[in-house]
Amino acid sequence: MAGPSHHILPLPEFDKPVKILIVASPYYKDISDHQITGALAEIEKAGATHDIVHVPGALEIPTAIGIAARMSNFDGYVALGCVIRGETTHYDTVCNDSSRALQLLGLQGLCIGNGILTVENHAQAAVRADPAQMNKGGGAAAAALHLVALSRKWGKSEKGVGFTSDILMAGKSTV
């Protein structure tokens, strides 16, 4: 008996350039390398540009995205990492806190594809990270691209508040 089918949305098309930041934790480098390969393929298919930064672990991924959102000009973010269950409750803390932090950043308006794997063992991670198998890195990149497309569809043009440079040049002020 076949398993359930999954519908994959086609990648969005963009009329203006899209810049994506991949934030990856290479704690399990083989897994991270596969995730990045999958993410890059999706980003390139959409015609977007990218940058990649590495952080020590999954808990640092949301912090790096928050810093980038405040200090740079990325349209979207791809969070890539892997947390494998160990012998202590640290697994639960890392999974819950990294996921919750990414969700909070998303609710603030950031376009984030969450590709942090939370698995029982390395074999599960390998299948999920491999671009030829489950390609969760590619899926996270696609999610970020879809959110960028939504934000552009629903985005409002920024309105100036108070004085604008053109009016100041003319010696006039706005009301």
**Residues with a known catalytic role:** 90
Residues 11, 20: Cα–Cα separation, whole Å? 14
Taking Cα atoms as reference points, which of 38, 36, 45, 37 lies closest to residue 18? 45
Which strand ranges, in their side-by-side order, compose the sheet holding 76-84? 49-54, 19-24, 76-84, 112-119
What kind and span of H or E run contains 168? helix 165-169
What kind and span of H or E run contains 51? strand 49-54
